Copies of this chain bind each other. A is one copy, B any other.
Amino acid sequence: MSDAGGPGLADYADLVQPSETKVLLLVLDGLGGLPLEPGGPTELEAARTPNLDDLAWTAEVGLHDPVGPGITPGSGPGHLALFGYDPLRYRIGRGVLEALGIGFPLEPGDIAVRGNFCTVDGAGNVTDRRAGRIPTAEAERLVEALERIPNGETRVFVRAVKEHRFLLVLRPPGPMSPDLADTDPGRTGVPPLHVTAGSTAAQATAALVSEWLRAAREVLAGEPAANMALLRGFSVLPDWPSFPDAFGMRAFAAAAYPMYRGVARLVGMEAIAVDEDPSALVTALEDAASAHDFFFLHFKPPDKAGEDGDFDRKVAVIEEVDRIVPALMGVRPDVVLVTGDHSTPSLLRAHSWHPVPYLLWSNVSRSGGAEGFGEGPCAQAGVGVRRGRELMPLAAAAAGKFVKFGA
């Protein structure tokens, strides 16, 4: 199912022109919130953010649905939307997402799949699809053993993720298809499913994975809980239009967590790891400023505070970001977009579907005169609820990255 509404990346790529301007995208992960009681402020509204408020006053402000109305975005889809990609159309396979999450350096042609250690009984039926959620340390011991399984010319990588979850990557010498069905039966009391190819192109991959699973079962045979593995979401790095092509910008990303660097690299950004302290974002930006013209800075703490249900900490970390805004403006960006990839209201302790406030600042933005940066001002002084993927084209346009469409 795809969202065919509105212009796509190829339409924007057709309009790109050279430009010396700089665009800054500052993502406060999980920024959107809810009041603790009706009529009260949200986390962002409660936060003292004089610098963001100053920007908001002369910025275009509004709200965005990252994926679509009523849809609660995961981190991958939320960021793709901010990068201008329709998350309903550009879907990241589960195996690839797992690799991005732990920073595994996938190469084109690698087949990535998510593994679960599981428990099977003497008859071969699954009795626990998560092997009692074994500790990560135990999984690390097991994946080392699994990685020693010989696989002919195909290199195989196995990495522990968390508890029973692991990543399996096949790097074959030639082209292979990831068109394989999951082996996870989705329930207990039945054996794991056979590895079946969805097309003739995938038959060689199916044979390789079958043989690997047979050997894995032998390796794991003596384990009390994790004596078998289930595989889900065979996938390869997607072949998407690149962000630099679509928007005409040499893109740089700085993020403390591998997932966000991974999604940024997926669309063609150069990404570096930084500490979680906001000042690390300032340093990263200053260092990257001369060689790039797009800068994605990711700040995770608001999402974590929201997921912990800690309203006050979410307020505090938003205030921390506000304090670095003058230093960020020191590199003289022409366009600044500040928003979140989704809402994470501390009231709900989880990601949510609520529209996310944004401010789009430039000296050619049409301001609504918002009195501060918050969900309320962004609704009332704003232009309504945009789709998340609309923001990047607006930022690029404000930076002069596009020529006129048609004569």
Q: Which residues of A contact B (CB under 8 A)?
A: 1-8, 10-12, 15, 34-35, 38-39, 42, 57-58, 63, 67-77, 87-88, 91-92, 94, 97, 101, 345, 347-348, 350-355, 364, 366-369, 375-376, 379-387, 390-398, 402-407
Which of B71, B92, B384 contacts A397 (CB under 8 A)?
A: B71
**Contact partners of A74 in chain B: CB under 8 A:** 404-407
A75 to chain B, nearest CB (A): 7
Q: List 13 A-B contacts (CB under 8 A).
A: A1-B7, A4-B5, A6-B88, A11-B68, A11-B88, A72-B403, A72-B405, A73-B405, A76-B406, A353-B398, A368-B380, A380-B380, A384-B385
A257 to chain B, nearest CB (A): 13
A70, A390, A395, A397: residue with the most chain B Cβ atoms closer than 10 Å: A70
Which of B4, B63, B101, B368 contacts A383 (CB under 8 A)?
A: B63
B1 touches A3 (CB 8 A): no
Q: How far is the CA of A202 from the CA of B250 in the complex (A)?
A: 41
Nearest-neighbor residue (CB-CB) of A94 within chain B: B407
**Contact partners of A397 in chain B: CB under 8 A:** 69-72, 352-353
Which of B69, B101, B381 contacts A407 (CB under 8 A)?
A: B101
Nearest-neighbor residue (CB-CB) of A101 within chain B: B407
A3, A12, A353, A369: residue with the most chain B Cβ atoms closer than 10 Å: A353
Q: How far is the CA of A390 from the CA of B65 in the complex (A)?
A: 11
Q: How far is the CA of A258 from the CA of B403 in the complex (A)?
A: 24
Which of B6, B368, B393 contacts A387 (CB under 8 A)?
A: B6
A71 touches B366 (CB 8 A): no
